[in-house]
Amino acid sequence: MEAIIDFIFNYWGLSAVVVIATIKAISDYQGFKENLKSLVVVIEEKARDYSIEHGEEKFLWVKTHGYDYIPNWLKLVLTEKMYEKLIQSIYEELFRK
């Protein structure tokens, strides 16, 4: 524990950057999830207007339109499978309660 405290005091600038970057990353990720939730709600409400009938077509619509909202740093680590699982979890969270 003392070593951790010494590190923080000796490298306070680096520690501050890590903390700020972590807070920014969490904030970006939460904002991205909120944007995906909004897209899910939009496609559920407007599916008839867009001539989208099946769940898979809705999923692909959200996947395609949601990609633009992914923060650049997250695009480096987020695989397609992870992105699809995230969208699916949002669908389940919103509609399977």
Q: At what angle do helices 12-46 and 2-10 cross, to 10 degrees?
A: 90
pLDDT at 97: 59
pTM above 0.95, yes or no: no
pLDDT at 53 (0 to 100): 79
pLDDT, tens digit only, all 97 positions of the chain = 888 888 877 888 888 888 999 999 999 999 999 999 999 999 888 887 878 878 889 899 999 999 999 999 999 999 999 999 999 999 999 888 5
Q: Which is nearest to 33 in space by CA: 3, 11, 62?
A: 62
The C-alpha angle 66, 92, 49, rounded to 5 degrees, equals 55
> Where exactly are the structural domains of the chain?
27-95
